Chains A and B, each alone.
Chain A
Amino acid sequence: MANQSLTEAPERPSTGPVAPVGADLLASLRGDSSRRPLVDPGLAGGLRDWLEDGLCSLPLGVQTPILVNKQTLRDALAGRTNQPRVERSITDSVALGALMDALFRQFVTIGHIEDPMRNGLDALRVDPRRSEVIDFVRGLEPQERADFEDELETQSAILVSRWPRLSPSWLPRTQERITVPLAGGDVVLVGNIDLIVGAPSAGHASVGLIEVKSGRARIEDRDDLRFYALLETLRSGAAPFRVATFYTRTGLIETEDVDDGLLTSSVQRVLMGINRMVAPA
């Protein structure tokens, strides 16, 4: 069984300095380094074969490639596949999530956040795909905007109070995209991971994956991370040693060790999800 653990921060950041900042968070990310598994060079190939074999028997149809990301997988497994496609509208929580992702990236990269709202919007402004979020924030009524900004500043303060500056030797890289083509490119597994740390190694597993969430903790969050652990294994040939979700709303971090059982359960979930995506309505 995978080892799961929770580390919770105070509900709101304390006013006084916490020393050392984020030591417990780092410890929970690292885990017990002596217990990290050896990289199994045959594992990634085996998982890929399993997926390919599973896809062989599915009627993939003509509407390919089928893009499978954490959201489409969730929708498929929840039976929302065959409903009319509704464009995801921007809401408070979506906008907050986009801004917190940008602020987390900034904090990991340069180690500070000056003005959460300004920094976050500036980050989104360089990405044309995020213009809807900017428009949404601009369109808020004064009171709504004040409340929104208050929540953003609170979550940003929790982030800064909980996260230490990561050592550059951990090779932190943010919002790294992974695409895994399967079935000759007819199916593409896609993920965009908020933070990957750890110098890749051929010896012991040495890479950790971290997702940042601005909303409440949900059971599906763990499935998302297991999906990302599978993607990273397929891409790099080595499984990550640990996955974690950090909640900027509470400062809570949830971690899970990656083992063969976690990865095989993710393979089954992916196959089940794709099966439902391609199943006739």
Chain B
Amino acid sequence: MALPKAASLTDALTLGASSMVSPDEFAEVRQAFEHELRRTTRSLPTGERIRVDGYSLRNAMSGGAGHGGAFRWTPWTARRPIGIECVRASLANPRLTPLQASHDVITRLVRQADEQRGRPGSLSEWLAGLAVGGRTVVQAEAVVWATQLTTALDWTRLSRPIVGDDRSVVLPSSSQVLLRGRIELRTFATPARVQGTNPRRRLESEPSVLFATMTGRPSPTARTELGLAALTVALGDRHGEVPVRVLGWWPQCGRALVVPVDLTLLNQTCEAVVGTVRSMCPTIPQKSRPSRATGERTGRHTGKTSLPQAVGEVDRIAS
């Protein structure tokens, strides 16, 4: 069950390579990034948190304000979390199709709400409140999403795939910024030939690679959005291991973008994140020399959340 493009996409994703950024090099990137973030968020009122994800990054970089409304569940925001569960279920049981899996996932979520285990505003609560007609739209959207991901790759060739490996990162030095990386799949590049049978050595020779499903068609900011996924994985790794590449996949148009993760990408992504954060912070007179990303664009405060809501959902990173 694979698209004609699946073989070449899988090749492009898993092609053997060694990491282009060493942990030491990344430590320097990280240090500079944290310093810049700390400086940028000084004007942010205590208790407010800025969330930077692919969406806010795109809006800030393209000068758009986005719709800026509060998040709400719709069939289009719900299809991904349900779709990810479907793909996981299909991988665990290859006889299970996305349509069957979606039924199971939605039934489980609704039962969760019925047993009053769903948080107010949660996906399960929202689903339980929908009539059959509305719930079916959600299921149908999830089926499309899951089928697109399932058929995009040759899963038999993936090494230890992790589906839905999203990352939320709060840096201790800039705890008012939450970085969110959306990652549909994390797997490992084909290992280079390694002498000996030491399993630790073998694992070290398998740098991780990321696969992200995107919406619509590639935009000029796509490379940086994919860079954010790589950045969050690297920031969240205890050893500062950096993924070797990110592959963005636009199923609606059948396009893919393979982005090698090198120092240039990481630096550009860090600058874009700082620029996005700056566009969301209250303006204060800048005395020091602005960074390259400084003040390029302004946007609305679309990514702010208050601290208490976000705490508990994020991985705090040891510095």
Query: Which A residues lie at the B interface, using CB under 8 A?
Result: 39, 41, 102, 105-106, 108-110, 114, 118-127, 168-169, 171-181, 185, 188, 199-202, 234-238
Contact = CB atoms under 8 A, between A and B. Distances in A.
B147 interface: yes
B265 interface: no
A113 to B, nearest CB: 9
A171 B97 contact: yes
A118 B131 contact: yes
A126 B255 CA distance: 29
A123 B136 contact: yes
A181 B74 contact: no
Interface string B82-104: 00000000000000011110010
B139 A237 contact: no
18 contacts: A39-B4, A102-B133, A106-B133, A106-B140, A110-B132, A118-B131, A123-B134, A126-B137, A127-B75, A127-B137, A168-B99, A174-B144, A175-B140, A200-B3, A201-B2, A201-B4, A235-B253, A236-B5
Contacts of B147: 171, 173
Query: Which 3 A/B pairs are nearest by Cβ-Cβ distance?
Result: A122-B133, A235-B254, A123-B133
A255 to B, nearest CB: 23
Most chain A beta-carbon contacts within 10 A, residue among B6, B99, B147, B255: B99
Given A109-B99, A119-B131, A179-B253, 16 more contacts: A39-B4, A102-B133, A102-B137, A106-B132, A106-B136, A118-B131, A123-B133, A123-B134, A175-B140, A175-B144, A179-B216, A235-B254, A236-B3, A236-B5, A236-B254, A237-B5
Given A110-B139, A169-B97, A126 B144 contact: no
A173 B86 CA distance: 14
A110 B136 contact: yes
B99 A200 contact: no
A200 B253 contact: no
Interface string B176-216: 00000000000000000000000000000000000000001
B217 A126 contact: no
Contact of B253 (A41, A119, A168, A181): A181
Contacts of A120: 133
B145 to A, nearest CB: 9
B3 A168 contact: no
Contacts of B254: 180, 234-237
A276 to B, nearest CB: 24
Nearest to A114: B132
A148 B5 CA distance: 45
B253 A126 contact: no
Given A105-B136, A126-B74, A237-B3, A173 B131 contact: no
